Amino acid sequence: MPDEPAVEARGLVKTYPLPGGGKKGRLRALDGLDLTVARGAIAALVGPNGAGKSTTVKILTSLARPDEGSARVAGVDVLAAPAVVRRLIGVVGQRSGADPSATGRENLILQAHLFGLPATEARRRADELLERFALADAAGRFVKGYSGGMQRRLDVALGLVHRPRILFLDEPTTGLDPQARAALWQEISRLAAHEQLTVVLTTHYLEEADRLADAVAVIDDGKVVAEGTPAELKERARARTLDDVYLHYAGRRFDMAEVTRA
């Protein structure tokens, strides 16, 4: 099925119990979210905090199960065959998952082993990725001594060890300095262009979405409220920048949220 989308989510609903909310007080994190990502695309999920971006990524990467709805990732039903999906995707979480008390190389080799790579291949793959992400000099150092940018590059390398078809990046550049951010952007574009990797990323930086993404989905209140290429979105909202698009679709919520929370 060459034309099957990389990601196809239909009607995702996810609720979480609210602390102190009792039986009725459940937070509706996703409220019937639909999302399609074409193969080989870089798709950006943007939206305010709590809009449901991370929950969507968690469901698509088998870390959480939706209350309702269905999701296919790389053509495989995530709910029916999560173990199969895990082999086909790479995931870089919001927080660095690397083991700080191990070296960069050790982290990569362990990851490779967990994906079933034999010892020699695991070492070769680790060195290859260390080289590519400019971590070769730091390969034998403990990760706790890495800078934020180095840690993030290692996180992405960890997500790529097993040559996934789809790479999920949850806020990959949050907390990075502009230089490190630009370097990561470059690497992500390169991955999508040269390795036919589909990339799904969440971000707070509209500039990032504009620069990187072929497709942007604006998520608000647990739903996709607008989607298209950055150009299409700008045109539709009669906006000059993606920031304006964002405010156009998701902006109201800020005022309302302040009011209801008060």
Partner 1 sequence: MTAVTAPAGAAPAAGHPLADTYYLTGRKLHALVRQPYVLAFSVIQPAIWLFLFGELFHKVIDIPGFAFHGSFLAYLVPGVVAMNAMSNNMWAGMGMLEEIERGTLNRLLVTPASRIAIMNAGVAEQAVGTVVQTLIIVFLGLAGGARYPGGALGVLILAIAAAAVGILWGALSNVAGMLLRSREAIIGVYTFFMLPLMFLSSAFMQPGFMPGWMQAIASRNPLNWEVQVGRSALSATPDWGGIGVRLGGLVVLAIIAVAISVTTFRSYARNA
Which residues here bind partner 1, judged by CB under 8 A? 1, 4, 58, 61-65, 74-77, 81, 83-84, 86-89, 91, 93-102, 106, 110-111, 113-118, 158, 162-163, 165
Is 165 or 253 the residue whose CB approaches partner 1 more closely?
A: 165
Q: CB neighbours of 33 closer than 8 A, spacing ≥ 6?
A: 9, 11, 12, 13, 52, 56, 69, 219, 222, 223, 224
The SS3 assignment for 157 reads: helix
Is 25 or 100 the residue whose CB approaches partner 1 more closely?
A: 100
Q: How far apart are CA 124 and CA 41, in angstroms?
A: 28
Q: How far is the CB of 76 from partner 1 (least distance, A)?
A: 6
Q: Which element (helix H / strand E) includes 17?
A: strand 7-17
**Torsions phi, psi for 109 (to 5 deg):** -65, -40
The SS3 assignment for 31 reads: strand
Is 20 or 178 the residue whose CB approaches partner 1 more closely?
A: 20
Is 98 or 226 the residue whose CB approaches partner 1 more closely?
A: 98
* 122 CB-side CA count, 13 A: 16
Q: How far is the CB of 143 from partner 1 (least distance, A)?
A: 11
Is 162 or 253 the residue whose CB approaches partner 1 more closely?
A: 162
Handedness of CA 123, 107, 151, 102 (dihedral sign): negative
